[in-house]
Every structure is written in C-alpha cells, then in structure tokens.
Structure 1
Amino acid sequence: MVDVNVRPDIDAAAAKLKSAVGSKREIQKLPEVLWEGETVEMLSPGLYGKGNGLVAMTSQRLIFLKHGVMSQQVEDFPYSRISSVQWSGGMLMGTLIVFSSGNKAEIKQMPKDAGKALADALRARLAGAVQAPAAGAPQAVPAPAGGDVASRLATLDQLRTAGAITDEEYRDRREKILDSL
C-alpha cells in the first residue's frame, strides 16, 4: 500500500508494504545499488547494525540498504553464500537472521507480516537450490531437449515467489520439468 514511482518491479514490491516509515529514501535510492538485470521481488523495512533501512529480496541477492543524509550503508548477501535463515516474530515486529559465509546478520524491527513473508520466500529460494549464475561465471550449456532445466526451474521458483502461481501449481510444474529429464 506504499505508493512510489521508481520502476515497475520496485513499485510492485513497495505496493505490498503496509508502511514504508523510515525507508522511503531507500526505496527511491534502490536502483542505484542494483546490478544490471537485477529485479526486486520483496521489500521490508528493518534495522541492521545501527541504522533503520530497507531489506530487498532481489532476483540475485538479499540487500540491506540504509541511505542517510551523511552516509550510505549497503550490505548484500548473494543467495549462493547464504547457508540458512531464521525468523522470530513478536506481536508486531520480528527479527530475520541470515547465516552467510560463516557470518550471522541480524535484521531487527521488521514488520511481522512483511518480514515473515520475506523469510518464507528466502527459504523457498534456498530450498530450490537453483541460483542464477554470478556475473562472469561460466554458463551451463542448455540441454538439447526441453531447454535449460535449471533455467526453467529458476523461472518457476520466481513465479511462485512473486505469487503468480500457487504452491500446488508449482509442485505440479516442477514435477513435469524434472520428469522431462
């Protein structure tokens, strides 16, 4: 229910937020920290380190952005480096804990609904174990029949994360893709 006019993917993710108090500046500045071709899937305000900012789940990584008047803080967690995710919620707010490359990052004061949805989507992405290759990484050669299975599974995962298909549709389509091997 937050109205911004940045770009379609960011606008769609922001529209799902009940409030963007303390993170409107970050939503406006988000395109500056995104990689080429990277799209935003989910957003949530949160507190990381010593600052209120914005948590963005993108097509390639999890980002925390704080854009203050005098300083900017960006910390990102590529999905290939995240080993696990924990969510603990209270009555109104919760904490997302991300374990990445032996480090632990705690993002606190996330609104319960947005934070839980983001944590669930992040877990689903990690469980799928299909990650977009890093820029400059060698690309897999597509399978001759049925297209690139990893790409099809990644697209399917993105559709489910975006809410375009139900969990049941996801399972059915995933099973068909895997049966085509």
Structure 2
Amino acid sequence: MATFNVRPDIDAAAEKLGSTMGAKREIKRLPEVLWEGETVEMLATGSYGGGTGLVAMTSMRLVFLKHGVMSQTVEDFPYPKISSVQWQGGMLMGTLTVYTSGNRADIKNMPKDQGAALSDKLRALIAQGGQPAAAPAAAPAQDVGSRLATLDQLRATGAVSDAEYQERRARILDSL
C-alpha cells in the first residue's frame, strides 16, 4: 500500500482503500478542496461525469474529486442536502446513487466493498438528520497551522508550483 503523508485523516482513510490506482493524484490534492475544519472519514474510487476519481466522505459532505493534467472536477454533496442514497453492487463493482434536491448523481465503477460501506455510512448519517454524530471542533490557529504545513509539504513534493504556493498561502492567511 502506498504511503501519502498528506494529512493524518486522509492517510488513515487511504490506508483502508484496497487499491489507490487512478486516485493517487486526487489523494494528494484533496486538502486543496476541503473546507476549514473538515476531516476525511472514508475514501473510495469511482467514475462520475466522465472521469474516474476519488470519492471522499468527510465530516461535512460527500466530495467527488477528479484532478487531471488539464482540468479538475469537484462535485460536492453537503449532507443536509442529501435526501437518499442507493447502492447497486455487481460482482466486483457497483454504482452509488446520491439524490439531492430533486437531482440524481450516479457514481459508477466503485469497488463493491468501498461502495457498500460508504452507502451504509451515508444512510446512517441521513437517519441522523444529515449531521455528523460528533464533529470535533478544531481551534482556528491549529487549523491554519496544519493547512500551512500541508501546503509546505505539497510544495516540497512538487505537487504545487511556487506561484500556486504563494497564492494559496495568501488565501489561508487572509482567512484569519
């Protein structure tokens, strides 16, 4: 299993994936699309909107991330907006269908074990009224510090350019 050293919550979720094939770039880029104080609880791979990427169940929402060489796709489903989920499993793969405000999103080609576990957790969350059981509140100073540390790691590994680093660092500091 590959080691990512992105963030403890993301690393723990990535370790549970059977295979990270097709999602390595997305795992490394996931911190860029997460909201402040948002943590990753579970990851899965799947296809949505013409691309194969990463499905992240976080403390606040379900996120699909596809980070290609020329483009990036991010689709998110905040938990209070999800009305129901459906799982259809085949021999090896399946489809997770998420219903939100009259819309339907089919995330296909999910490994059967990942998709079934994710749909079960989503159903439990919906039964709780769309709110996580106990979302830990992070101190803003610690969160900014961890975000800056993550950004430094991304720059050190070459995942972000110096220009991207400066822009994102400025945004993080402006959020104070």
State if a TM-score over 0.5 links the two structures: yes
What is the TM-score normalised by the length of structure 1? 0.72
Instruction: Provide the C-alpha distance between the structure 2 equivalents of 1:27 and 1:20, rounded to a whole number of angstroms.
Output: 9
Instruction: Provide the C-alpha distance between the structure 1 equivalents of 2:29 and 2:22, rounded to a whole number of angstroms.
Output: 13
Tell which has more relative contact order, 1 or 2 (C-alpha 8 A, sep 6+). Answer: 2
> Structure 1 residue 3: deviation in Å?
2.6
2:34 maps to 34
1:155 maps to 134
1:131 maps to 131
2:25 maps to 25
> Where does the alignment leave 5 or more consecutive residues of structure 1 unmatched?
133-153, 157-181
> Quick one: which amino acid aligns to residue 80 of structure 1?
P
1:7 maps to 7
Assess if the C-alpha contact under 8 Å between 1:89 and 1:112 holds in 2: yes
* RMSD (CA atoms): 1.3
Alignment of 1:38-49 (within 5 A): 38-49=38-49
Instruction: Provide the C-alpha distance between the structure 2 equivalents of 1:53 and 1:120, rounded to a whole number of angstroms.
Output: 20
Assess if the C-alpha contact under 8 Å between 1:45 and 1:110 holds in 2: yes
Assess if the C-alpha contact under 8 Å between 1:46 and 1:55 holds in 2: yes
Confirm whether residue 114 of structure 1 aligns to residue 93 of structure 2. Answer: no
Identity of matched residues, %: 71
Q: Which runs of 4+ in 1 moved over 3 A?
A: none
Instruction: Provide the C-alpha distance between the structure 2 equivalents of 1:54 and 1:92, rounded to a whole number of angstroms.
Output: 17
Instruction: Provide the C-alpha distance between the structure 1 equivalents of 2:20 and 2:116, rounded to a whole number of angstroms.
Output: 16
> Where does the alignment leave 5 or more consecutive residues of structure 2 unmatched?
136-176
What is the TM-score normalised by the length of structure 2? 0.74
2:141 maps to none
